[in-house]
Amino acid sequence: MEKYISAFIIEFTSTLNWTLDSILFKVSWYNNYFWGLIVISLVVWLLEIIFPWRKNQSPIRKDFWMDGFYMFFNFFIFSILISGDYKVLGLLFNEIGITTKSLAVFNISNWPVGLQLVVFFVILDFVQWLTHVFLHKYEVLWRFHKVHHSVKEMGFAAHLRYHWMENILYKPLKTLGVMVLGGFEPEQAYIVHFIAIIIGHLNHANIRITWGPFKYILNNSVMHLYHHMKALPENKPKGINFGISLSIWDFLFKTNYVPDDNGEIELGFYNEENFPKGFLGQLLTGFRKN
């Protein structure tokens, strides 16, 4: 028991110190996820102000500040709080013979760096797409995912507006994706991280983006706005356009749907009237059937 407690404390302290060092510019710029998130957010927000898709929507839209807090809570505060638990779980799995190499399908460690990053990006994006489908398909998971879909005016910060349980729910399949790669993460994985943040912010931004012919590969703000539509198509009651960074999965599995691109649709979900409107209420929601 002592080694688990020690591992928990060490990992918690390490994650906390890393975050503080990031805030104080004591880590390399390309690994500084704290200031990287801020810079990306400010740039995308500026683009929203200059090129608004829905011109009647204020740059400081409904729930703007709450969504901004969600960004830092989910990316940093919760990561610090949960880091020790993940470390202990890793030790427990190791003791029963399950490691990050247990399900290795590919050994990409000797591949060219560019190819490593592409494979890493594609596999992780697919498992996140699949997790996203599950969040809509199963009621017990949808209860938590409702937080993300409670946004009524779409903007970049809504990207990271989600229930803290989603951090945990996404973890198993993301870990599985890394295990398929033999536990290998490219040294330049930070590139994938920042690309995912940029695409995610743009997908939620009040900017009309389709990527032209690349829309069949890259997710975009038009597709994702319809993902948040309240009145879903009758033949797709569990959701549409589940893409995270890539849209290709939706086209492959026939979950794509974009009837037009005027941007003026009602967002949310049915029976949302009694859903918590504030951060604390949303923090505690989802643990019992409505």
pLDDT digits (tens, 9 = 90+) for 124-161: 999 999 999 999 999 999 999 999 999 999 999 999 99
Q: Name the 3-class secondary structure at 119.
A: helix
What would the mean pLDDT of 13-17 be, rounded to a whole number? 96
Which residues pair with residue 218 across a beta bridge?
A: 246
Query: Where does the chain show beta strands of DSSP type E?
Result: none
- Look at residue 190 and tell me if it is in a domain: yes
Both tokens of 224, joined, read 């994702």
Contact in structure between 242 and 130 (CB atoms under 8 Å): no
The confidence band for 179, taking pLDDT boundaries of 50, 70 and 90, is confident
Contact in structure between 161 and 192 (CB atoms under 8 Å): no
Cα–Cα distance for residue pair 136/142, rounded to 1 Å:
5
- Look at residue 236 and tell me if it is in a domain: yes
- Look at residue 289 and tell me if it is in a domain: no
Which residues pair with residue 267 across a beta bridge?
A: 229
At residue 167's C-alpha, the angle toward residues 146 and 95, to 5°, is 140
Which pLDDT score, from 0 to 100, does residue 11 have?
94
- Look at residue 159 and tell me if it is in a domain: yes
Assess whether pLDDT exceeds 70 at residue 290.
no
Q: What is the DSSP string of 27-41?
A: S-GGG-HHHHHHHHH
Which pLDDT score, from 0 to 100, does residue 176 have?
75
**Least confident segment among 8-12, 88-92, 173-177:** 173-177
- Look at residue 6 and tell me if it is in a domain: yes
Q: Give how many domains the chain has, as a whole number.
A: 1
At residue 71's C-alpha, the angle toward residues 181 and 49, to 5°, is 115
What are the tens digits of pLDDT across the range 43-57? 999 999 999 999 999
What percentage of the chain reaches a pLDDT higher than 90?
75
Q: What is the span of the domain harbouring residue 28?
A: 2-284
Cα–Cα distance for residue pair 41/252, rounded to 1 Å:
31
- Look at residue 96 and tell me if it is in a domain: yes
- Look at residue 290 and tell me if it is in a domain: no
Contact in structure between 91 and 3 (CB atoms under 8 Å): yes
What would the mean pLDDT of 213-230 be, rounded to a whole number? 97
Name residue 18's amino acid.
W
Which pLDDT score, from 0 to 100, does residue 66 have?
98
Cα–Cα distance for residue pair 229/209, rounded to 1 Å:
17
Q: How far is CA 35 from CA 21, 159, 178, 193, in A?
A: 11, 17, 26, 13
